[in-house]
């Protein structure tokens, strides 16, 4: 028995306990592509427990109309423009979100999977399109062009030379308040517990009032629905950071 005692003592040795990292804060920036355009965003949140995350987010994105096909007129100085396009539409979002972990990352690495829900205020920014419109003398000879806001009743393929600079319409931007909702799955594949590298896929909807008519001869859309894919990069902080 005295001879076996040392072996029993070794069996009771449980080894060193691994230190568990406690994360309480997260922030990330992201870039995303949608089926209607793309944009950038920022998130800042807290993790009150091991599975939940509550965050605030800010997004800025461009919405592209599928009928806005670029073309050229027959004027020698022509540059490409989208015939019938009345405005460029942007969305500025600010809202609150929640994430729930549905698959935790193993200790040796792997992927953490979360589902995410968020929503809040969406501000539509409708920047009107200005065009270079051809001018003619009394003999019908082309003499140059003037810059005018696109009006489908007066402007057509025969007198549109090209699009004027984008910033020409900034001063006439129309604000359209509304709301948005977004949901998706977040796949965090970062190797370091304090660094965020994640891909997110999902869908979103924006609705603003009054409705915005982006294209002439088309009804104004009541809502904007799209799918998206985003890449997040950021940092996590523990209790004492």
Q: What is the pLDDT of residue 206?
A: 98
Which band of pLDDT confidence, cut at 50, 70 and 90, is reported for residue 106?
Answer: confident
CA distances from 91 to 6, 40, 177 (A): 71, 11, 10
The pLDDT of 131-142, averaged and rounded, is 87
Longest dimension (CA), the chain: 121
What DSSP state is assigned to residue 220? P
pLDDT for 79: 80
The pLDDT value recorded for residue 193 is: 82
Mean pLDDT value across the chain: 88
The pLDDT tens digits for 53-74 are: 999 999 999 999 999 988 888 7
β-bridge pairing 130-136 and 160-163:
antiparallel
For 149-208, the pLDDT digits (tens) are: 999 999 988 889 989 999 999 999 999 999 999 999 999 999 888 899 999 999 999 999
End-to-end CA distance of the chain: 52
23-66+83-128+170-238 topology per CATH = Porin (2.40.160)
Q: What is the pLDDT of residue 110?
A: 84
Q: How far apart are CA 210 and CA 208, in angstroms?
A: 6
Q: Give the whole-angstrom CA distance, residue 19 versus residue 117.
A: 31
**The pLDDT value given to residue 139:** 84
Beta strand 52-63 pairing with 87-103: antiparallel
Determine if residue 45 is left, alpha or beta; phi over 0 gives left, psi from -120 to 50 gives alpha, anything else beta.
beta
Q: Would you say 241 and 23 are in contact if contact means Cβ atoms under 8 Å apart?
A: no
Tokens, residue 91? 């969305």
Give pLDDT, residue 5. Answer: 46
> pLDDT tens digit string along 5-55?
444 444 444 444 444 567 789 999 999 999 999 999 999 999 988 889 999
Tokens representing residue 165 in the block: 């600079």
Tokens of 31: 């870039």
Q: In what order do the strands lie in the sheet with 130-136?
A: 142-149, 130-136, 160-163
Q: What is the Cα–Cα distance from 43 to 55, expressed in whole angstroms?
A: 6
Q: How many residues does the chain have?
A: 241
pTM of the model: 0.86
């Amino acid at each position: 028995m005295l001879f076996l005692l040392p072996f029993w003592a070794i069996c009771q040795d449980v080894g060193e306990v691994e230190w568990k990292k406690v994360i309480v804060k997260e922030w990330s920036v992201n870039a995303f592509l949608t089926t209607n355009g793309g944009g950038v965003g920022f998130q800042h949140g807290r993790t009150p427990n091991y599975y939940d995350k509550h965050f605030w987010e800010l997004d800025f994105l461009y919405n592209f109309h599928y009928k806005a096909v670029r073309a050229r007129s027959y004027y020698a100085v022509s540059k490409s423009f989208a015939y019938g396009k009345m405005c460029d539409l942007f969305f500025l979002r600010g809202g609150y979100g929640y994430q729930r972990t549905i698959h935790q990352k193993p200790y040796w690495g792997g992927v953490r999977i979360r589902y995410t829900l968020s929503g809040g205020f969406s501000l539509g920014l409708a920047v009107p399109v200005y065009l270079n419109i051809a001018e003619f003398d009394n003999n019908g000879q082309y003499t140059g062009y003037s810059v005018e806001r696109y009006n489908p009743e007066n402007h057509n393929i025969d007198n549109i030379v090209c699009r004027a600079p984008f910033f020409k319409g900034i001063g006439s931007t129309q604000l359209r308040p509304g709301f948005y909702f977004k949901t998706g799955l977040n796949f965090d594949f970062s190797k370091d517990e304090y660094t965020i590298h994640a891909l997110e896929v999902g869908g979103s909807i924006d609705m603003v009032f009054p409705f915005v008519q982006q294209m002439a001869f088309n009804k104004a859309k009541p809502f904007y629905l799209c799918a998206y894919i985003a890449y997040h990069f950021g940092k996590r902080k523990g209790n004492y950071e």
